[in-house]
């Protein structure tokens, strides 16, 4: 997959001999609704002998367009999104820098400079895709162009509610991890590297790996989770119990950290890259009255995690 980063004004031109099918969207999370858009694009492209492509944006448009609700953390940060799209067999990933200048483009200019100018013959987008200044462009306006065909993907719902990145972020914040994973079509994951911590866990019999996320991830709610994880390029899946929190038993107003106790594992892995898969929510973060209460709770969390992960 070739990643092509586009600025405004767009000066990129594809090979004149190549005709392209493109899926349009921000695609944070690549949830099951996004997957339908991309799989439809792939099906059309293969049927018509077109190059398969995705056009997305970076950063999230809210960074430019909204003062109050800027989205600066992601379910799938751009490098993760790139890896996932490559697994689809995409030929081109177009990443458009969503800048203040780009946000001022008329819908027609966007279409002519970024779609028609790139020899796009098939456009696939969700029913609510918008583009151009003030979001005035829509699927309906795309249908007015004769240079390409437009395929609109109808709203995908779960229990009568639209499947969306916003909904999944809400679920992750509300301790509804299993539901979020169902809408994602996979377990939510965070990639990071293992850093030195306070090493308090090993003194109470539960050594932990302190995980520094590699990118600006949206974090699930503070609490304790049953997780699986992989280490480096080793495909072995390990089981663990993880906490996201501020360690209130020991600190006040401390920064949020991610710690994972890997079950039946005793190697030192500082500096290793790990991917943590968030499988089940166990409980909220609590402040305990002393070490004995904390140790008892951690053992209960570990036992619960083993039970929840028995089929993993």
Are residues 48 and 195 located together in one domain of the fold? no
Are residues 33 and 109 located together in one domain of the fold? yes
CATH of the domain at 153: 3.40.50.620
Tokens of 18: 């190549």
**231 located within any domain:** yes
What is the domain extent for residue 69? 2-162
**106 located within any domain:** yes
Are residues 155 and 6 located together in one domain of the fold? yes
Residues 26-65 have pLDDT tens digits of: 999 999 999 999 999 999 999 999 999 999 999 999 999 9
**210 located within any domain:** yes
Are residues 133 and 196 located together in one domain of the fold? no
Peptide bond into 99 cis (omega under 30): no
Please tell me the least confidently modeled range out of 16-30, 101-115, 238-252, 261-275: 238-252
Mean pLDDT of the region 7-15: 87
Residue 79 predicted with pLDDT over 90 = yes
Count of helices and strands (H, E) across the chain: 10, 14
Instruction: Supply the pLDDT for residue 246.
Output: 82
Instruction: Supply the pLDDT for residue 249.
Output: 54
Residues 227-258 have pLDDT tens digits of: 999 999 999 999 999 999 886 555 665 789 99
Tokens of 84: 């996932």
Counting the structural domains of the chain, the total is 2
**195 located within any domain:** yes
Confidence class of residue 199 from pLDDT cuts 50, 70 and 90?
A: low
- Residue 131 DSSP code: B
Rounded to an integer, what distance in angstroms lies between the CA atom of residue 254 and that of residue 98? Answer: 34
**181 located within any domain:** no
**221 located within any domain:** yes
Are residues 100 and 15 located together in one domain of the fold? yes
Instruction: Supply the pLDDT for residue 202.
Output: 61
Are residues 34 and 146 located together in one domain of the fold? yes
Residue 291 predicted with pLDDT over 60 = yes
Residues 114-172 have pLDDT tens digits of: 999 999 999 999 999 999 999 999 999 999 999 999 999 999 999 889 999 999 999 99
Peptide bond into 273 cis (omega under 30): no
Tokens of 91: 């030929």
This prediction's pTM: 0.93
Instruction: Supply the pLDDT for residue 251.
Output: 61
**33 located within any domain:** yes
Instruction: Supply the pLDDT for residue 16.
Output: 82
State which of 95, 128, 162 marks the end of a domain. 162
Instruction: Supply the pLDDT for residue 234.
Output: 94
Instruction: Supply the pLDDT for residue 253.
Output: 57
Residue 287 predicted with pLDDT over 80 = no
Are residues 194 and 49 located together in one domain of the fold? no
Instruction: Supply the pLDDT for residue 138.
Output: 97
CATH of the domain at 262: 2.40.30.30
Residues 268-282 have pLDDT tens digits of: 899 999 999 999 999
Rounded to an integer, what distance in angstroms lies between the CA atom of residue 256 and that of residue 245? Answer: 5
Q: For the chain, what percent of residues have pLDDT higher than 90?
A: 80
User: Of 96, 109, 133, 105, which is closest to residue 7 (Cα–Cα)?
Assistant: 96
Residue 173 predicted with pLDDT over 90 = yes
Are residues 158 and 200 located together in one domain of the fold? no
Are residues 60 and 112 located together in one domain of the fold? yes
Are residues 126 and 44 located together in one domain of the fold? yes
**Mean per-residue pLDDT over the chain, rounded:** 93
Are residues 34 and 149 located together in one domain of the fold? yes
Are residues 6 and 153 located together in one domain of the fold? yes
- Provide the strand spans (E) within the chain: 2-6, 20-24, 51-58, 92-97, 120-126, 149-153, 157-158, 161-162, 188-195, 209-213, 223-231, 234-245, 257-262, 273-284
**63 located within any domain:** yes
Instruction: Supply the pLDDT for residue 297.
Output: 87
């Amino acid at each position: 997959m070739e990643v092509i980063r586009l600025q405004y004004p767009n000066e990129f031109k594809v090979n004149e001999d190549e005709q392209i099918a493109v899926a349009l969207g921000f695609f944070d999370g690549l949830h099951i609704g996004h997957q339908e858009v991309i799989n439809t694009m792939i099906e059309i492209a293969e049927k018509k002998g077109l190059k398969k492509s995705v056009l997305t944006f970076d950063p999230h448009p809210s960074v430019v367009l909204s003062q109050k609700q800027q989205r600066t953390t992601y379910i799938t940060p751009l490098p993760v999104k790139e890896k996932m799209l490559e697994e689809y067999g995409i030929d081109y990933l177009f990443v458009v820098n969503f800048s203040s200048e780009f946000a001022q483009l008329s819908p027609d200019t966007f279409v002519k400079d970024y779609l028609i100018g790139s020899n796009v013959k098939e456009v696939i987008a969700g029913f609510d895709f918008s583009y151009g200044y003030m979001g005035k462009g829509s699927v309906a306006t795309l249908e007015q162009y004769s240079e390409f065909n437009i395929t609109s993907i109808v709203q995908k719902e779960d229990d009568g509610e639209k499947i969306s990145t916003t909904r999944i972020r809400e679920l992750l914040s509300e301790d509804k991890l299993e539901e979020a994973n169902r809408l994602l079509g996979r377990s939510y994951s965070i990639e990071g590297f293992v850093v030195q911590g306070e090493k308090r866990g090993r003194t109470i019999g539960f050594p932990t790996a302190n995980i520094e996320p590699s990118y600006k991830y949206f974090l699930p709610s503070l609490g304790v989770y049953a997780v699986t994880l992989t280490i480096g390029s080793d495909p072995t899946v390990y089981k663990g119990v993880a906490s996201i929190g501020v360690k209130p038993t020991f600190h006040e107003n401390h920064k949020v950290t991610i710690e994972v106790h890997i079950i039946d594992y005793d190697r030192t892995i500082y500096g290793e890259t790990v991917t943590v898969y968030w499988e089940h929510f166990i409980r909220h973060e609590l402040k305990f009255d002393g070490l004995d209460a904390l140790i008892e709770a951690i053992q209960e969390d570990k036992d619960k995690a083993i039970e929840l992960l028995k089929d993993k």
